[in-house]
Amino acid sequence: MRAFHCWEIEDAVKLLGESICPYCGVGCRLRVEGNGKPQRIRGVEDAPANLGGICAKGALLHEAIDAPDRLTHPQLRRSRSAHFRPTNWNTVFQYLRETLHDIVSTSGPESIAT
């Protein structure tokens, strides 16, 4: 196996995009870097919330994105006793629309939001 020098890795890793860290409410802006898929997460230097710094959870976000057991499709269960089943987004949104409509019809709009 070939060893890589740090400057070779720097050249191989490209900016894939920016995002907001999902872990807490601070709203740290993140730079997602990699070569085709996320390999490294860094803070955005001029972001007011984090000024380029990120916590350990944010720094390891790329591992969660590429986890083998990560859900990649929506799951739905129609009751608490039922098992989650893979489905598509149209089915999920239709189910949510029907459920929210039933709640508002039965208990009024205040039952969802005020």
For residue 113, what pLDDT band results from cuts at 50, 70 and 90? confident
Query: Phi and psi at residue 52, in whole multiples of 5°?
Result: 90, -10
For residue 13, what pLDDT band results from cuts at 50, 70 and 90? confident
Task: Return d(Cα 52, Cα 29) in angstroms, integer.
Answer: 8
Q: Is the pLDDT of residue 63 over 70?
A: yes
Average pLDDT, the chain: 89
Q: What average pLDDT does the segment 34-57 reach? A: 93
Q: Is the pLDDT of residue 3 over 90?
A: no
Q: Which amino acid is at 99?
A: T
For residue 2, what pLDDT band results from cuts at 50, 70 and 90? low
Task: Return d(Cα 49, Cα 28) in angstroms, integer.
Answer: 6
pLDDT in tens, 70-102: 898 999 999 999 999 999 999 999 999 999 999
The reported pLDDT for the residue numbered 36 is 85
- Residues 6 or more apart whose CB falls under 8 angstroms from that of 38 comprise 16, 32, 61, 62, 65, 66
Burial class (CB in 10 A: 0-12, 13-18, 19+), 27: exposed
Q: What average pLDDT does the segment 96-110 reach? A: 95
